[in-house]
Amino acid sequence: HMARVTDPRDYLDPPSRRIYNQSLEERIMLTSHLITSTCTSALDDLMKGSKYVYTNISPRNSGRKKCLLLSFGLGVVLLGVVGVVIYMIVGGKDSTDTSIVNSPNDSREYRAINLPTKLRITLVSDPATSISAAAVNVAVGYFGDSFEFPHGTAHFLEHLLFMGTEKYPGQNYADEIMSGAGGFVSAYTDSEVTNYWFYVSYNLKVALDVLVQFFVGPLMTDDSIVRELSAVESEYRKGLTTDVWSSYQLMRSSSSNLSTFNGFSTGSISTLNRTDIQERLWEFYDRYYSANLITVAIIGNETLDTLQEWAEEIFTAIPNKDKSKPVFNQLPFPPGDKRYISRAIYYQPKSDKDSIKLYSL
């Protein structure tokens, strides 16, 4: 998982762009919160002129512990794409509404399209950009593990989709293609979404086709499961050494055991090394990885007509299984339940620091 970077001016000023025509007050507040919470650490490093952004989220594998900021503009492009996807997820009373209202100060062109498979795509044409990017967002995250799947299933599945597809069977083929095109590819599993994204300097159409195969024909072979199980275990072990993850897991473990928040999202050998894990992974994939639960955002220097032609040609391949979006209604800290609220928890940090965190319902 990689920290997402944005233009500091966007961080300080209200967003000038508004997607969809209906009232946006609540959606804007939530979107601002999401962007702020995921970008704070990256922005701090960026504002200080740091050459590197160190994430406080475990990387997809041990080889990705830091990301070199190729350019300030690249950061804007990446979060711009992720931001568009967030808008599409959070808002829109009518998912068939394809109208977009953008600021008169924004020279880029936008277009939203709905495929017959119910997959929604936002296209951004920016003739001035030298970097193309895309993000594919699936409306399920580690809350989807729920009580039916082993802890870490959603995260483990994210890893395995990189390990070869029917069309491109080579393990880590996506990494090779993106890096060969002067780019990068990664993904992250959040509580209610899983996001796969990339940027490239050229060959956008090829990159899109490579990425879409994750959702068309993944392999999830026995040897890739063994390999990525070690990678997930490594992430878990790394998390044990950081106060950020320890304190977060402590909070989750202190919540109601009837809530999906009370879980273990990373996973480890102890939760995932099962004889039926391949079967459970396919079950999770078939339940949630459906076109009607997927949104896409693409930005490039091509015209909107060209981007739309590519998007329709490539993303129509993702099948629509008409699956229902998972809903999580149980509160992690039920008001009035003294077992979960009005408590103080003390623990010995791994680093030499003192801190206090207050959580208000």
Catalytic residue numbers read 158
Residue/partner pairs of 266-270 with CB below 8 Å, 24 or more apart: 266/58, 266/152, 266/155, 266/232, 266/235, 266/236, 266/239, 267/150, 267/151, 267/152, 267/153, 267/155, 267/156, 267/232, 267/236, 268/152, 268/232, 268/233, 268/236, 269/229, 269/232, 269/233
Q: What are the structure tokens assigned to 16, written together?
A: 């000038």
Please name which of 206, 220, 158 lies closest in space to residue 178, comparing C-alpha atoms.
Answer: 206
Q: What are the structure tokens assigned to 288, written together?
A: 């949630």
| CA–centroid distance for 272 within its chain | 21
